[in-house]
Amino acid sequence: MPRPTEVVLPTRRERFDDRRKDSSQRKLLDEFFDHRTLLTISRLITQGQFDSLDFPVATGKEGGVFRATAGKEFRAVKVYRIGNTTFRNLPAYAIDELRRETSIRDFAGLVYAWTRREHTVLGRLADAHVRAPMPFGHLRNVLVMDFIGNSEGGAPRLRDAQIDDPEAIYLDLVEQITRMLRDAKLVHGDLSPFNTLLFEGKTVIIDVAQAVSIKHPQAAALLTRDLDHYARFLRHLGFPVTGEEFLHAVGGDRLGLPAAGS
Ligand SMILES: Nc1ncnc2c1ncn2[C@@H]1O[C@H](COP(=O)(O)OP(=O)(O)OP(=O)(O)O)[C@@H](O)[C@H]1O
Ligand SMILES: [Mg+2]
């Protein structure tokens, strides 16, 4: 039993910090883990998709990504938020695509369809041998996929990674995008150094829910914008490439995509 003089009472500041930590923790829990999402996660655990959620890897505007453990492996578990307005900010073409694919009755239904869409697109990318997380399953607003990273943590975004050889990154991206167009017949639609990870020196494409078919009327415009993002990033790293050169390198100008803006 410590004597009263040995007990160090927390200062006002420490008590305040503790309370703030508690409340930010609660906020995170409230945002992602509403009752239904918790049930969904527990159902996925029962299905054997993973054993436990370890920690949040990132929390973005549409949702949070958590690392999970499945036996001796890791998984990434992406939880789409239901209770926010992000989906109202999605580009109209993406919402139109969803409405074409599903009959959506309510906001939650839209989020579930979006989650399923990301799972489907990841499957198509895997079939086309595009380096992207392998999908393992989905339920309602929760998607389970390969964790890109190792026991120390998630792979950095291309934007934050240390890049010594930008030309190698360019060639790798050309190969990935070529496969995506030619074999998966998809345009990503939100490509950037933020939605690309760098793992073991190779690029991995993520965040694919808004991808559209190369036959989509907006395909050319989206592809041009995606490649412009990459080209600008590579030029900053000292590798001179234009959006047009990139488009040519991935065969985007030979696919007969519907003309931009048509
Ligand atoms: N499969 C994965 N393995 C490891 N980390 C991942 C994986 N998927 C996503 N992440 C991490 O989570 C972050 C957010 O993922 P993603 O881009 O898919 O979601 P988002 O909701 O669009 O978030 P943001 O709005 O920040 O782009 C990524 O930047 C990456 O750091
Ligand atoms: Mg993203």
- Taking the model in full, what pTM does it have? 0.86
User: How many Å apart are CA 153 and CA 158, to the nearest integer?
Assistant: 15
For atom 13 of ligand 1, the residue with the nearest CA is 58
**255: pLDDT confidence band, cut at 50, 70 and 90?**
confident
Which residue(s) pair with 142 in the sheet? 79, 139
Residue 22 pLDDT exceeds 50? yes
58-72 pLDDT, tens digit per residue, is: 986 677 999 999 999
What average pLDDT does range 232-243 have in this prediction? 98
**262: pLDDT confidence band, cut at 50, 70 and 90?**
very low
Which of 124, 119, 158 has its CA nearest to residue 139? 119
30 annotated active-site: no
Query: Which ligand has its closest atom nearest to the C-alpha of 191?
Result: 2
User: 54, 106, 190, 253: which is the annotated catalytic residue?
Assistant: 190
190 annotated active-site: yes
User: 30, 207, 228, 253: which is the annotated catalytic residue?
Assistant: 207
CA 222 from centroid of its chain's CA atoms? 18
Residue 12 pLDDT exceeds 60? yes
Q: Given the CA of residue 208, which atom of ligand 1 is nearest to it?
A: 18
Please tell me the predicted confidence (pLDDT) of residue 94.
79
214-232 pLDDT, tens digit per residue, is: 999 999 999 999 999 999 9
For 159, which DSSP code? Answer: G
Mean pLDDT, rounded, of the chain: 88
User: How many Å apart are CA 19 and CA 42, to the nearest integer?
Assistant: 28
Query: Which ligand has its closest atom nearest to the C-alpha of 80?
Result: 1
For atom 4 of ligand 1, the residue with the nearest CA is 148
Which of 158, 227, 164 has its CA nearest to residue 196? 158
Q: Please report, rounded to a whole number, the percentage of residues in the chain having pLDDT higher than 70.
A: 81
Please give the torsion angle defined by the CA atoms of residues 60, 164, 200 and 64, in that order, rounded to the nearest 10 degrees: 0
* Whole-number Cα distances in Å, 71 to 51, 188, 194, 236: 7, 32, 30, 41
Ligand 1: residue of 79, 199, 207 to mutate (most ligand atoms within 8 A of CB) is 207
Decide: residue 176, CB within 10 A, 0-12 exposed, 13-18 middle, 19+ buried.
Answer: buried
Amino acid type, 228: D
Please tell me the predicted confidence (pLDDT) of residue 109.
85
Please tell me the predicted confidence (pLDDT) of residue 135.
98
83-102 pLDDT, tens digit per residue, is: 655 565 677 787 778 777 77
Structural domains in the chain?
153-249 (1.10.510.10)
For atom 17 of ligand 1, the residue with the nearest CA is 207
Give the least confident one: 5-19, 145-159, 166-180: 5-19
Contacts (Cβ under 8 Å, ≥6 apart) of 81: 31, 32, 62, 63, 64, 111, 141
Report the pocket of ligand 1 as residue ranges, CB < 6 Å.
57-58, 60-63, 65, 76, 133, 145-149, 154, 157, 194-195, 206-207
Please tell me the predicted confidence (pLDDT) of residue 117.
95
